[in-house]
Structure 1
Amino acid sequence: MVREIKDRKLFITINETKDHLIAEIIDNAGGLEPEILSTIFDSNDSTWTQDTKKNVFYIPKVILKNMKGSISADNIGDGTQYRLSVPKTAS
């Protein structure tokens, strides 16, 4: 589905806490449908094909799993917020 967004925006912030580095990416593209949002990082979803397992949403999850980090997506305002968090030191 393609949405007509007149004034497209993408905000990227990188912050740190005592123990974590956190990257947030926020867009104003109208948010994601609930069924997509709940499975966006799940390679077992029946809508995924072999080609889409290389998808930009699946790759960070694998990397973060190996780094003991986390990734999430939530609808906020008129868009979606993606949040990636990784510990500063390996456990």
Structure 2
Amino acid sequence: MFELNGRTPDWEVVELAAWDKKISRLRTAGKFSKQVRPVAYYLEAAKYWSVVHHVAPAYGTRTLRGFMEKLVDREWPTGSFRERMKNGTNVMPTDV
């Protein structure tokens, strides 16, 4: 994705142990504060989605790179989210 867009990767790696520690602390704090409970839940969900491969099936010939190459030249819809939903358009197609 970065290579196709002419950019260099710029991110920080967070080890799973750090996620687990933060989730554990937030769960404990969530016992005393209702406002913190959803934060722990969403952090767990973010951890799950960051470590599980959901891009393509384990079989077939399509690749993530091929999908990204198609997205580079695609025209993206403009306007507000509400306007796009009224028109029935998707921002991220499942099959380009």
Normalised TM-score (structure 1): 0.26
More strand by share: 1
Structure showing greater Rg? 2
Larger RCO, structure (CA 8 Å, separation 6 or more): 1
